[in-house]
C-alpha cells in the first residue's frame, strides 16, 4: 500500500484526439502495475476520481480516461434524473471501435510512464462495467473487474452484435459484480454471462449480491450498499494481486 500518491489531469493522444484522463500513481522509486478505470455515464466525476486515487493507494498506477471526449469534453455530473438522461444520451452515441481505440491509446500512454510495471488491468462501473467487459478482449488486459455493466447480453455500442458475442476473445481473468435488485440487468442476463464465460473457458468469477441494486458501489448514490461494496472491493484487490503481480 502506498503512503502517498500524486494525482493530476493528463492528456492521452489518440491520433488527432486529445483525451482528458485523471491519473493517480504512488510516489516511490519502483514500478507498479496499472489499472484503467472506466467511468459511469456521469463522466470522470468526483466519485470516479476518488476510486482512481483509492486504487493508487493500493500500489497501482490508475488512470480514468474520459469516455465522452468526442461528445462532451470535460463532462461530469451528479446523479439527478436530468443527469441520468444526459449521460444516457451520450452513452447512446458511443462506438465500440472508438472505445477500444481510446483504451489502446491509454495503454500506449501508460507504457511511457517511468513507473509503469508492465501488467495492466481494468475496472469499470455502470456503462464502464460494460466497457470493462468489451476491452477485456484486448491482449494487454490481464484482469478486468466489471461492475453492473448493463447491456452486455443485448447490445454493443455502435455495433449490430451484442458484446457477449466477443466473450471468446477475452484474454485474462474477468470478475463481474451484480446487484440482484438491479432492474436494468435481469438475473437471466447474469446467468447468460456466466454461462458464456464458462463455455469459452475464460477465467472468471461472478458475484451476485441479493440485496444490492444498480450503483451499489458508489457512496454518492442512494443505492449505495456498504456491505456489498466492501466485499466487492476486497474481491477486486485479490483479483489484481493475483493477476497483475510479477511472477
Task: Choose the catalytic residue: 20, 130, 214, 218.
Answer: 214
182 is a catalytic site residue: yes
> Collapsing DSSP states into helix, strand and coil, what is residue 131?
helix
126 is a catalytic site residue: yes
In which element (H, E) is residue 201 found? none
Rounded distance between C-alpha atoms, residue 15 and residue 101, angstroms: 10
* Nearest one of 196, 200, 195, 224 to 212, comparing CA atoms: 224
Q: What are phi and psi of 162, to 5 degrees?
A: -65, 160
* Nearest one of 134, 140, 182 to 159, comparing CA atoms: 134
Task: Choose the catalytic residue: 20, 130, 156, 182.
Answer: 182
Question: What residues form DSSP beta bridges with 16?
Answer: none
By DSSP bridging, strand 173-179 and strand 141-147 are: parallel
**Inter-residue contact 13 to 105 (CB < 8 Å):** yes
214 is a catalytic site residue: yes
**Inter-residue contact 56 to 26 (CB < 8 Å):** yes
Task: Choose the catalytic residue: 20, 47, 102, 126.
Answer: 126
Active site members: 126, 182, 214
Amino acid at each position: 500500500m502506498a503512503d502517498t500518491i500524486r494525482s493530476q489531469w493528463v492528456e492521452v493522444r489518440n491520433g488527432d484526439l486529445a483525451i482528458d484522463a485523471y491519473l493517480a500513481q504512488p510516489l516511490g522509486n519502483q514500478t507498479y502495475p496499472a489499472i484503467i478505470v472506466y467511468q459511469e455515464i456521469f463522466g470522470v466525476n468526483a466519485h470516479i476520481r476518488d476510486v482512481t486515487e483509492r486504487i493508487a493507494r493500493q500500489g497501482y498506477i490508475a488512470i480514468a480516461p474520459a469516455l465522452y471526449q468526442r461528445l462532451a469534453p470535460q463532462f461530469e455530473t451528479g446523479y439527478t434524473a436530468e443527469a441520468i438522461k444526459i449521460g444516457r444520451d451520450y452513452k447512446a452515441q458511443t462506438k465500440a471501435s472508438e472505445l477500444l481505440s481510446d483504451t489502446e491509446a491509454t495503454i500506449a500512454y501508460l507504457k511511457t510512464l517511468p513507473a509503469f510495471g508492465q501488467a495492466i488491468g481494468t475496472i469499470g462501473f455502470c456503462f464502464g462495467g460494460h466497457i470493462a467487459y468489451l476491452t477485456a478482449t484486448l491482449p494487454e488486459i490481464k484482469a478486468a473487474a466489471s461492475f453492473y455493466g448493463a447491456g452486455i447480453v443485448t447490445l454493443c455500442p455502435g455495433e449490430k452484435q451484442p458484446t457477449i458475442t466477443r466473450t471468446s476473445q477475452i484474454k485474462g481473468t474477468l470478475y463481474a459484480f451484480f446487484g440482484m435488485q438491479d432492474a436494468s440487468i435481469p438475473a437471466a442476463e447474469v446467468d447468460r454471462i456466466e454461462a458464456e464465460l464458462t463455455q469459452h473457458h475464460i477465467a472468471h468469477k461472478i458475484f451476485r449480491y441479493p440485496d444490492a441494486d444498480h450503483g451499489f458501489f458508489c457512496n454518492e448514490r442512494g443505492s449505495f450498499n456498504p456491505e456489498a461494496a466492501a466485499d466487492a472491493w476486497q474481491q477486486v484487490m485479490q483479483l489484481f494481486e493475483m493477476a497483475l503481480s510479477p511472477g
